[in-house]
Chains A and B, each alone.
Chain A
Amino acid sequence: MASDRITSVFQKAGQKPVMAMFITAGYPEPAVTPDIIAALESSGADIIELGMPFSDPLADGPTIQYSSEVAIEQGTDLDSIFEMVKQVRITSSIPIVLMGYINPILYYGVEKFFEKAASAGVDGFILPDVPVEEAGLVETYCDKHALALIYLVAPNTTDERMRLIDQKSHGFVYCVSVTGVTGARDGDQVAQSVSRFIDRVKANITKNPVLVGFGIKSHEDAKQISAGLRGFVVGSALIDTIRKNYPNSDWLDRTREFVEEIKYGK
C-alpha cells in the first residue's frame, strides 16, 4: 500500500517531530527537481510535498505564485511531474505527497491521473481547493489505488468539522496555522494563532497525526509552532532560499544548509 510509507515515517519518528518540505515541481527548472528532493532527504526531510504548479493558486502567497509561474513557463506538466517522481523512486522511499489545485487534474482526467500517480510512486495528495464537500470527485480513485487523501483544518474550522476531516483523511491532517495564504511570517504571531486552537485540534483529530504549516521559516519557529503536534511543513521559506541562491554554483549546498538548520538548529 503506497500510503504505508507515510504511516511508517510517523512510526519511526517516535517522539521526534516529522519535517515535511514543500517544493514546487519544476522550480527553478524541471531537470533539478529530483536533485532537490534528494538534497532535502539527505539533510533531514521526512516527507516531500511536491507542488503541482497552477496558473491561479488562490490559496498561495507571492512566493509560491512566483515558483509556480516559473515552473509552468518551463513546461512543467503532470506527466513531467510523474517522471520526476519515478526518478526519485529509483533510489528513495521517502513519502511524496502531491499538492495542487484541482483544475489541471480535471483537465488531465481524474481516473487517469490517480492511476498514473500511483504507478509513479506517489503516496498521497493535498488538494487545497477540494474541501470534503467536493471530495466525491477524487475519493474513490484514491481509495482504489490506496493513496492518502490529506485534508486541511484551519483556525476557524469547527470541532464537528475537524472530526469529519480526521475521519476522511489518511496519512496525516494538515493544520493551517493562520487564516491567510501561504508564506513566511512573523513566528510569534503564528505561534499565538496556533495556541488559540491547538487544544481543539488535539481533542478532535485523534485518528491521524497532525502536521502544522504556513509561516514557518526557522528552527525556532518550527519548535514553537509545532509544539504538541507531530511535526511541521516548510514551503515558502525553502523556495525563498533557493530563489536567493540559484543559479550560483553552491545553491544546492545552501539549500541543504537551510534544511539542516530548520531541522537541527544552528
Chain B
Amino acid sequence: MQYTSPTKNGYFGRFGGKFVPEILIPALNELEAAYANVKNDPSFHEEFMFLLREYVGRPTPLTFAERLTEHFGKARIYLKREDLCHTGAHKINNTVGQVLLARRMGKKRIIAETGAGQHGVATATVCARFGMECVVYMGAEDTERQKLNVDRMRLLGAEVRPVTSGSQTLKDATNEAIRDWVTNVDDTFYIIGSVVGPHPYPMMVRDFHRIIGDETRSQLQKIEGKLPDYVVACVGGGSNAMGIFYPFIEDEHVKLIGVEAAGYGVESGKTAATFAKGTPGVLHGSLSFLLQTNQGQIALAHSVSAGLDYPGVGPEHAHLHDIKRVQYVPVTDEEALEGVRLTSSMEGIIPALETAHAMAFLNTLMPTTTAGEVVVVNCSGRGDKDMATISKFI
C-alpha cells in the first residue's frame, strides 16, 4: 500500500481541508509555501536535527519493559521513551520545528493554545531559547488543575492568558488563539500543538513528530531484527500517535492501535472518545470526527487527562480510521489510573495520564499476543505534572 496523504489541498481522504475565515487564508498560504521550502532544505533539516539532539536529548531510548513483559508472559514489550525529552513529553519535537520555521518567516510573536500545559511549556521553552515573545492561551479551568505548568510557562517568560469563555478548557483556548491570530495575523506565528487545525498544520505537525517512529523503527531493527507487530499510542488530538504511526503506515503487517480517552465510559455522556461516539464535522479549521450534540453544536469532552480532554481528533486519524489502517479503542479514566499504577510499580516509570491510557490497553491487548511478537508503546510523557490528580487515587 502506497500512502501519500494529504493531497495538495490538505485532504486525508474525505477529511482535513481549510475551514477558516478569509483573513487566515493568506497566512496559511504563506505558511504552506514556507514549509514546502524548508521541507527539502538540508540546512533546515540539519538545524532541526541538531536541536533535537543537543537540546531535546534525542534519540530517546527504546526501553525493554522486562517486568511488564514477564507479568503478561506473552509478547515482548518496549517503551519509546518520549517522557525523557526535554520538558517531559514529545510535544517539544514539534515546537522546535515550528519555531525554526517562524524564525525563517521573520515572525516575531508566537502564540499557542494548551490543555494540560505540556504544549504551552514546550512552546514557552523554545521561545525562551530563541528570545521570542510568547503568549499562551489556556482554559481557566486548566490553569487551576495544571498550576505547575502555568508557573513553568511564566518562569520561561511566556504570558499565560486564562480563557473564561465556553467550557474553559482546550477547545476554548484554541478558539481564543485563533481569534488572536485573526487579529494579529501580520506578525504572529501560531504554533498549533497537535495534528489538528487547517492545512498545512496536521501534515506539518506529523512531519515534525515522525522522528519518534523513525527512531523506533531503526532501534527495534537493531535489537530485534524486525519491525514491531503492534504499535500502541494514546490519541487526543493525536500528535504522538501520528508521530510513531506514520513511518509504519505502509507496513501493513504492523498493527497500529490508537487509544482514546473514554472518560467515565463511552456511553456515560462524560467521555472524550471521538471515534466511539463522534461523527464527522468541522472544528478549528478542519473536517474530522467530533463529539457533537444533536444540533451540531460542539459537545463538552471529559477525560481525567487534560491532554486528551478534547472533542475532536486530527483529520489524518479520521482517515486512518476510515481506511481501517489504525484501530481505535477506548480506555476509561479508571483504567488509565490503573495504567499509571502498573507502569510505575513494574517499570519505575511514572507515565503522564495521557500515556497511561496506552499503557492500560496492554491489559486487553497482551493476552491476545504470542511469545514471539513485539509490542511498542509510545511512552509520550512523564507523570510529574499529574501528581495532584494521581494523588487523589492512591
Q: Size of chain A's interface in residues, with CB distance under 8 A?
A: 40
Residues of B within 8 A of A153 (CB): 22
A104 — which chain B residues lie within 8 A by C-beta?
A: 295-297
Residues of B within 8 A of A180 (CB): 23, 182-183
Q: Residue A133 at the B interface, CB < 8 A?
A: yes
* CB-nearest residue of chain B to A53: B297
CB distance from A2 to the nearest CB of B (A): 24
Q: Are A56 and B166 in contact (CB under 8 A)?
A: yes
Within 8 A of A (CB), among B1-58: 9, 17-23, 25-27
Does B178 belong to the interface (CB within 8 Å)? yes
Assembly CA distance A106 to B288 (angstroms): 12
B183 and A55: CB pair below 8 A? no
A55 to B281, CA, bound (A): 13
B186 touches A156 (CB 8 A): yes
With a CB–CB cut-off of 8 A, which chain A residues contact B283?
Answer: 56, 103
Which segment, of A123-131, A202-210, A245-253, faces chain B? Answer: A123-131
Q: Is A101 an interface residue (CB 8 A)?
A: yes
Asked whether, in the complex, the Cβ of A131 is within 8 Å of the Cβ of B281, the reply is no
Q: Check B17–A54 contact: CB distance below 8 A.
A: no
B280 near A128 (CB under 8 angstroms)? no
A216 on the B face (CB < 8 A): no
Question: Within A22-64, which residues are at the interface with B (CB < 8 Å)?
Answer: 54-59, 61-62
Q: Does B128 contact A (CB under 8 A)?
A: no
Q: Is the CB–CB distance between A179 and B20 below 8 Å? A: no
B22 touches A108 (CB 8 A): no
Contact B296 A131 (CB under 8 A): no
Find out whether the CB atom of B182 lies under 8 angstroms from the CB atom of A77. no
Chain A CB within 10 Å — which of B21, B175, B186 has the most?
A: B21
Asked if B183 contacts A176 (CB within 8 A), the reply is no
A105 CB contacts on chain B under 8 angstroms = 296
A151 interfacial by beta-carbon distance below 8 Å: yes
Bound Cα distance from A103 to B278, whole angstroms: 13
- Contact residues, B289-340 vs A (CB, 8 A): 290, 292, 294-298
Partner of A131, one of B25, B290, B294: B25
Q: What residues of chain A lie closer than 8 Å to B18, measured between beta carbons?
A: 131, 133-134
Known: A131-B18, A156-B186. A103 touches B282 (CB 8 A): yes
B183 touches A179 (CB 8 A): yes
Q: Please determine whether A107 and B292 come into contact, CB atoms closer than 8 angstroms.
A: yes
Do the beta carbons of B26 and A158 come within 8 Å of each other? Answer: yes
A221 CB, nearest partner CB in chain B, Å: 19
A65 lies within 8 A of chain B by Cβ: yes
User: Does chain B have a CB within 8 A of A154?
Assistant: yes
- 16 new A-B contacts, CB < 8 A, other than A72-B295, A104-B295, are A58-B175, A58-B178, A58-B284, A59-B23, A103-B297, A106-B280, A106-B296, A129-B282, A129-B285, A133-B9, A134-B17, A154-B22, A156-B27, A156-B186, A179-B186, A180-B23
